[in-house]
Amino acid sequence: MTNAISKALFLLGGALFLSVEDVQGLQAALSIRSKASVVDSRSALLAASVASLPNTNSNSNSTSADNGEIEFPPPLTGFQRTKRAIEFYKRALPVLAAYKAKEVELQFRRSALGENIPDWEENQIWAEMDEWGSTRIAETIQEMKGFYVKTGQVISTRVDLFPEAYTSKLQELQDGLEPMPYELVEKVVRQELLDGAPLSELFATFDKEPLGAASIAQVHKATLLDGRVVAVKLQRPNVEPKLLGDVANLKRISKALAKSLPVDYYTVL
Amino acid sequence: MQMILSASCELGDALVNELNFYAEAQAMRKIDLAISHNADGTATERPLAIPLPIGELVSKRVLVMDFVEGVPLNKLREKMLEKGIEPGSPESKIAGRRILNSLALAFGRMIFGSGFIHVSE
* pLDDT tens-digit readout, A128-140: 888 888 888 888 8
B87, part of any domain: yes
Q: Which residue has the higher pLDDT, A55 or A224?
A: A224
Per-residue pLDDT at B93 exceeds 50: yes
A199-222 pLDDT tens trace: 999 999 999 999 988 878 899 999
Interface residue A231 vs chain B (CB under 8 A) = yes
Interface residue A189 vs chain B (CB under 8 A) = yes
* CA pair distance A216, B36, nearest whole angstrom: 29
B121, part of any domain: no
Per-residue pLDDT at A162 exceeds 90: no
Q: Which residue has the higher pLDDT, B117 or A148?
A: B117
3-state DSSP assignment of residue A233 = strand
Per-residue pLDDT at A18 exceeds 70: no
List of chain B residues whose C-beta atoms are within 8 Å of the C-beta of residue A8: 4
Cβ distance of B54 and A228 shorter than 8 Å: yes
Per-residue pLDDT at A266 exceeds 50: no
Nearest-CA distance from B19 to chain A in Å? Answer: 7
pLDDT at res. B71: 87
SS3 for A7-54 is HHHHHHHCCHHHHHHHHHCHHHHHHCCHHHHHHCHHHHHHHHHCCCCC
List of chain A residues whose C-beta atoms are within 8 Å of the C-beta of residue B19: 43, 216, 235, 239-240, 243-244
B90, part of any domain: yes
Per-residue confidence band for B2, with pLDDT thresholds at 50, 70 and 90: low
Q: Among B1, B6, B8, B13, which would you mutate to test the A interface (most chain A Cβ atoms within 10 Å of its Cβ)?
A: B8
Give the strand pairing for B62-66 and A229-235: antiparallel
B120, part of any domain: no
Per-residue confidence band for A32, with pLDDT thresholds at 50, 70 and 90: very low
30-49 in chain A: CB under 8 A from chain B = 40, 43, 46
pLDDT at res. B62: 95
Cβ distance of B61 and A234 shorter than 8 Å: yes
Nearest-CA distance from A198 to chain B in Å? Answer: 15
CB nearest A230 (choices: B6, B12, B67): B67
B33, part of any domain: yes
pLDDT at res. B85: 86
On whether the CB atoms of residues B84 and A249 are closer than 8 A, the answer is: no
Helix (H) or strand (E) holding A157: helix A147-157
Interacting residues of A227 by C-beta distance below 8 A, sequence separation 6+: A204
CB nearest B15 (choices: A202, A232, A247): A247
Per-residue pLDDT at A258 exceeds 70: no
CA pseudo-torsion sign A130, A133, A135, A138 = negative
Q: Which residue has the higher pLDDT, A30 or B94?
A: B94
Per-residue confidence band for A35, with pLDDT thresholds at 50, 70 and 90: very low
Quick one: CA torsion of A95, A96, A100, A106, rounded to 10 degrees? Answer: 40
CA pseudo-torsion sign B6, B7, B10, B11 = negative
List of chain A residues whose C-beta atoms are within 8 Å of the C-beta of residue B64: 193, 222, 224, 230-233
Write down the mean pLDDT value for chain A.
70
* CA pair distance A189, A35, nearest whole angstrom: 31
B13-64 pLDDT tens trace: 777 788 899 999 999 999 999 999 998 889 999 999 999 999 889 999 999 9
Interface residue A11 vs chain B (CB under 8 A) = yes
List of chain B residues whose C-beta atoms are within 8 Å of the C-beta of residue A15: none
Per-residue confidence band for A269, with pLDDT thresholds at 50, 70 and 90: very low
Cβ distance of B54 and A230 shorter than 8 Å: yes
Locate the chain B residue with the closest alpha carbon to A206.
B64
Cβ distance of A193 and B64 shorter than 8 Å: yes
pLDDT at res. A151: 75
Structural domain boundaries enclosing B36:
2-114
pLDDT at res. A260: 52
User: To the nearest whole percent, how much of chain B has pLDDT over 90?
Assistant: 55
On whether the CB atoms of residues B50 and B34 are closer than 8 A, the answer is: no
The number of distinct structural domains making up chain B is 1
Write down the mean pLDDT value for chain B.
87
B73, part of any domain: yes
B79, part of any domain: yes
B119, part of any domain: no
CB nearest B5 (choices: A11, A231, A233): A11
User: To the nearest whole percent, how much of chain A has pLDDT over 90?
Assistant: 17
